[in-house]
Amino acid sequence: MLKKIDLILYYGLFVLAFVLPVSIAATNTVWIFLFFVWLIKIVKKKSTDFSSPLTFAILIFFGVTALFSLFGLDYKRSIKGLNSEMLFLIFFLVFSNVRNFNHAKKIMYVFLVSSAVMGFLGFLQYLIGKNFINAEIFSMLDGRAHGTRSWPQTYAEGLLMALPVSFYFILHYRKKIFYSAAILIFLGIFFSYVRMVWISTVILMGTIFLMYIKRLKNLVYIIIAVSVLVMISNVFTDTRKSIFKRATDFSDPVRITMWKTSFEIFKDYPLLGVGLKNIKKVYPYYYQKLNFSKEFYMLSHLHSTFIHILVERGIIGFLAFLYLFPVYFYYGIKKAKCVSEEEKFFIYGCLFAIFGFLLSGLTEYVYGDSEIQMIMWFLMALTFYKSRAVFIDRDGTINEDMHYSADERKLKILESSYPAIKLLNQADYKVIIITNQSGVARGNFSEKDVKKLNEVITRKLKEKDAIINDVYFCPHHPDENCSCRKPEPGMILRAKKNLNIDIKNSYMVGDMQSDIDLAKNAGVKSVFVLTGAGIDVKGADYTAKDILDAAEWIISQVD
SS3 of residue 364 by DSSP: coil
- Provide the 3-class DSSP secondary structure of residue 322: helix
β-sheet bridge partners, residue 472: 434
Beta-strand ranges (E) seen in 388-540 are 388-392, 429-436, 470-474, 507-510, 525-529
420 membership: H or E segment, kind and range = helix 417-426
Q: pLDDT confidence of 294, banded at 50, 70, 90?
A: low
Asked if the model's pLDDT at residue 455 lies above 90, the reply is: yes
User: Is the pTM value of this prediction over 0.85?
Assistant: yes
| Domain locations along the chain | 1-48, 52-97+252-386, 100-251, 388-556
The CA distance from 199 to 157, in Å, is 12
pLDDT in tens, 227-262: 676 666 665 555 555 656 666 665 566 777 888 888
pLDDT in tens, 350-404: 999 999 999 999 988 999 899 999 999 999 999 999 999 999 999 999 999 887 7
Residues 137, 145: Cα–Cα separation, whole Å: 12
Judging by beta carbons within 10 Å of its beta carbon (0-12, 13-18, 19+), is residue 109 exposed, middle or buried?
middle
Q: Tell me the Ramachandran region of residue 263: left when phi exceeds 0, alpha when psi lies from -120 to 50, beta otherwise.
A: alpha
Per-residue confidence band for 141, with pLDDT thresholds at 50, 70 and 90: very low
Distance of CA 33 to the CA centre of its chain: 23
For the annotated catalytic residues, the residue numbers are 393, 395
How many whole angstroms separate alpha carbon 70 and alpha carbon 272? Answer: 10
Q: Is 363 exposed, middle or buried (0-12, 13-18, 19+ CB in 10 A)?
A: buried
| pLDDT value of position 533 | 76
136 versus 218: the higher-pLDDT residue is 218
H or E element in which residue 242 lies? helix 238-247
Cβ atoms of residues 502 and 390 within 8 Å? no
pLDDT, tens digit (0-9, with 9 covering 90-100), for 263-283: 899 999 999 899 888 888 888
Alpha-carbon distances, residue 138 vs 23, 116, 130, 152, 186 (angstroms): 16, 18, 9, 13, 20
Among 47, 21, 174, smallest CA distance to 108 is for 21
What dihedral angle (degrees, nearest 10) is formed by the CA atoms of 251, 254, 258, 261? 90
Q: Which residues contact 507 (CB under 8 A, 6 or more apart)?
A: 389, 390, 391, 519, 524, 525, 526, 527, 554
Q: Span 436-448, mean pLDDT?
A: 88
The CATH number that domain 388-556 falls under is: 3.40.50.1000
